[in-house]
Structure 1
Amino acid sequence: MLLLGVFGAVGVYEGAVAMMEQWHLFFEPTVVGTVAGMVEATVISFVLVYAFAWLYNALAR
């Protein structure tokens, strides 16, 4: 996400930046948009990994 934010601000990989903007609610090729996209991705990843770990531990018993 950080690399796409930097490359998007420069004008490289515009197709990938456009796809990232569609997939993530807060991502934009600006400093604030890049940080917000990284925070969003962190929260989503934490929730999904936590749910997977909970399910794994529930089924492992």
Structure 2
Amino acid sequence: MNVHEHLKRYPNARPSTLLYLERRAEKTEQLRSELDAASDRRSRMLADSERETVLARLIRKLRRA
């Protein structure tokens, strides 16, 4: 629930509650963006390791020939 929804539901909400909700939303967004960035890095690392595996297989085939 964001601050606006909370104010609609509770028009006399305490300012400290609204501040808490705003900070929680900011922190959640920050953590989600960090998680997305980490996920992207992990995906790139897996793609790189897969390329290395394919390259290693090709090298082995060439050595056998």
Higher RCO, Cα 8 Å, sep 6+:
1
Q: How many residues align?
A: 39
State the alpha-carbon separation in 2 of the partners of residues 11 and 43 from structure 1: 26
More helix by share: 2
State the alpha-carbon separation in 2 of the partners of residues 11 and 51 from structure 1: 36
Structure 1 runs of 4+ off > 3 angstroms?
A: none
Gaps (5+ residues) in structure 2?
7-19, 53-65
Gaps (5+ residues) in structure 1?
13-28
TM-score, with length taken from structure 1? 0.52
Q: Which amino acid aligns with 2:5?
A: G
Is 1:52 equivalent to 2:43 in the alignment?
yes
Could you say which residue in structure 1 is the equivalent of 2:22?
31
Residue 34 of structure 1 deviates from its aligned partner by 1.1
- Which of 1 and 2 has greater Rg? 2
Aligned-pair Cα RMSD in Å: 2.2
Is 1:9 equivalent to 2:9 in the alignment?
no
Q: Which amino acid aligns with 1:45?
A: D
Identity %: 3
Q: Does the residue aligned with 1:35 lie in a helix, a strand or coil? A: helix
TM-score, with length taken from structure 2? 0.49
